[in-house]
């Protein structure tokens, strides 16, 4: 069995996986970047101390009995959920979003659980843990892959097929504990496609899911966290995403606000994470990633505006 990535390696592996659908950094590259940036990890706990009023959205993918590709081990997942129950008010995503809209800035730290891709192992392994602790989760699923598998991961090291739930299996999930959201049609990175295709991925996926499930689909999660530059325009963002209550990205952050309602930050929990990694992520040790991503977003937006101006 291959050694699990350590604390810092796990974070950079996550960054590679979330940003690059097919390539990403290999382990030697992750180690090299880690050596350069490791000092920031301890510094961030000083710059970003523990604070109340956090609005944390956790992002999981698969759950497995043993260490596996893109999966959190079930025993570790049990410990994580138990820790969350002790340290946060774990609420449904719609409740966390409502707290933003209501201007609730209370001292309680709120946390919501999300799962991307809709794997069958969610129903088989994660759901019993959630039921035991009475914890709600939102499952984001690509409508075009229902009853299929994670073919977008083919070509990655350690890849294996993971079955995605069918409509019958999705409808069988207890609505009191599980809400279904859209993860697009095809699980493509949406910052790399034409506007017409973007409309299909965002709008058509919701329509298909609502027809298949027989209930409203209120939330969206961008595959790979890829945020289309066209959505930097508030008007276009509302036209495209307006039928949703909110949308999630993979941008890092323990705090969200109404200005982020269609670009909510999440903290990814990955297969390389130990329990210490998990608690460090939620205590702010890696909040320096917020600054890094903010700079990247600014540069990307400037480039997008320049490209738009050059076409006029």
Tell me how far apart the alpha carbons of residues 114 and 222 are, in angstroms, rounded to a whole number.
13
Q: Does residue 226 belong to any structural domain of this protein?
A: yes
Tell me how far apart the alpha carbons of residues 251 and 292 are, in angstroms, rounded to a whole number.
10
Q: What is the pLDDT of residue 62?
A: 97
CATH number for the domain spanning 192: value is 3.20.20.370
Query: Residue 210: which domain range?
Result: 7-310
Q: Does residue 202 belong to any structural domain of this protein?
A: yes
Let me know: does 157 contact 150? Beta carbons within 8 Å.
no
Q: At what angle do helices 7-19 and 275-283 cross, to 10 degrees?
A: 70
Could you tell me what percentage of the chain is helix, strand and coil, using 3-state DSSP and rounding each to the nearest 5?
50, 15, 35
Tell me how far apart the alpha carbons of residues 8 and 149 are, in angstroms, rounded to a whole number.
30
The pTM of this model reads 0.81
Q: Does residue 64 belong to any structural domain of this protein?
A: yes
Predicted confidence (pLDDT) per residue in 171-226, tens digit: 999 999 999 999 999 999 998 889 899 999 999 999 999 999 999 999 999 999 88
What are the C-alpha distances in Å from 37 to residues 33, 41, 199, 280, 289? 6, 7, 38, 16, 11
Instruction: Report, as an integer, the average pLDDT of 58-81.
Output: 96
Residue 10 has pLDDT above 60, yes or no: no
CB-based contacts of 154: which residues, under 8 Å, 6+ apart? none
Q: What is the pLDDT of residue 185?
A: 97
Q: Which of 156, 159, 224, 154 is nearest to 188 (CA)?
A: 224
Q: Kindly report which listed range (43-52, 148-157, 160-169, 272-281) carries the lowest average pLDDT score.
A: 43-52
Let me know: does 8 contact 41? Beta carbons within 8 Å.
yes
Q: Does residue 17 belong to any structural domain of this protein?
A: yes
Residue 46 has pLDDT above 50, yes or no: no
Q: Does residue 23 belong to any structural domain of this protein?
A: yes
Beta strands 246-248; 71-73: pairing state:
unpaired
Instruction: Report, as an integer, the average pLDDT of 241-260.
Output: 93
* DSSP classification of residue 245: S
Q: What is the pLDDT of residue 311?
A: 47
Let me know: does 72 contact 312? Beta carbons within 8 Å.
no
Instruction: Report, as an integer, the average pLDDT of 8-37.
Output: 45
Q: pLDDT band for 17, please (50, 70, 90 cuts).
A: very low
Instruction: Report, as an integer, the average pLDDT of 229-251.
Output: 91
Q: What is the pLDDT of residue 308?
A: 54
Q: Does residue 111 belong to any structural domain of this protein?
A: yes
Instruction: Report, as an integer, the average pLDDT of 223-251.
Output: 91
Tell me how far apart the alpha carbons of residues 176 and 197 are, in angstroms, rounded to a whole number.
33
Q: Does residue 2 belong to any structural domain of this protein?
A: no
Residue 263 has pLDDT above 60, yes or no: yes
Predicted confidence (pLDDT) per residue in 276-297, tens digit: 999 999 988 877 777 666 665 5
Number of domains in the chain: 1
* DSSP classification of residue 264: B
Exposed/middle/buried for 107, CB within 10 Å: 0-12, 13-18, 19+?
exposed
Neighbouring C-beta atoms of residue 162, cutoff 10 Å: 20
140: β partners: 116, 181
Q: pLDDT band for 32, please (50, 70, 90 cuts).
A: low
Predicted confidence (pLDDT) per residue in 85-134, tens digit: 999 999 999 999 999 987 766 668 999 999 999 999 999 999 999 999 99
Q: Does residue 1 belong to any structural domain of this protein?
A: no
């Amino acid at each position: 069995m291959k050694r699990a990535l350590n604390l810092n390696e796990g974070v950079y592996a996550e960054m590679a996986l979330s940003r690059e659908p097919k390539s990403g950094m290999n382990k030697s590259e992750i180690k090299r970047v880690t050596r350069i940036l490791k000092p920031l990890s301890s510094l961030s706990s000083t710059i970003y101390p523990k604070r109340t009023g956090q609005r944390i959205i956790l992002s999981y993918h698969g759950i497995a009995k043993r260490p596996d590709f893109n999966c959190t081990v079930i025993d570790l997942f049990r410990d994580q959920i138990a820790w969350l129950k002790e340290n946060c008010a774990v609420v449904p995503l719609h409740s966390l979003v409502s707290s933003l809209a209501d201007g609730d800035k209370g001292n309680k730290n709120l946390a919501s659980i999300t799962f991307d891709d809709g794997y069958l192992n969610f129903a088989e392994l994660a759901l019993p843990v959630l039921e035991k602790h009475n914890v709600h989760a939102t499952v984001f699923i690509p409508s075009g892959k229902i009853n299929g598998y994670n073919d977008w991961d083919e070509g990655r090291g350690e890849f294996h097929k993971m079955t995605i739930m069918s409509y019958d299996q999705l409808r069988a999930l207890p609505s009191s504990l599980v809400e279904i959201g859209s993860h697009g049609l095809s699980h493509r990175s949406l910052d790399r496609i034409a506007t017409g295709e973007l409309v299909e991925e965002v709008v058509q996926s919701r329509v298909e899911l609502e027809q298949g499930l027989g209930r409203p689909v209120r939330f969206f999660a961008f595959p790979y966290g890829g945020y289309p530059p066209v959505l930097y325009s508030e008007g276009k963002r509302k036209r495209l995403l307006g039928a949703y209550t909110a949308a999630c990205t993979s941008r890092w952050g323990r705090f969200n606000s109404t200005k982020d309602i269609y670009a909510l930050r999440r903290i990814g929990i990955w297969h390389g994470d130990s329990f210490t990694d998990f608690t460090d992520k939620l205590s702010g040790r890696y909040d320096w990633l917020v600054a890094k991503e903010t700079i990247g977003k600014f540069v990307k937006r400037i480039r997008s505006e320049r490209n738009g101006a050059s076409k006029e």
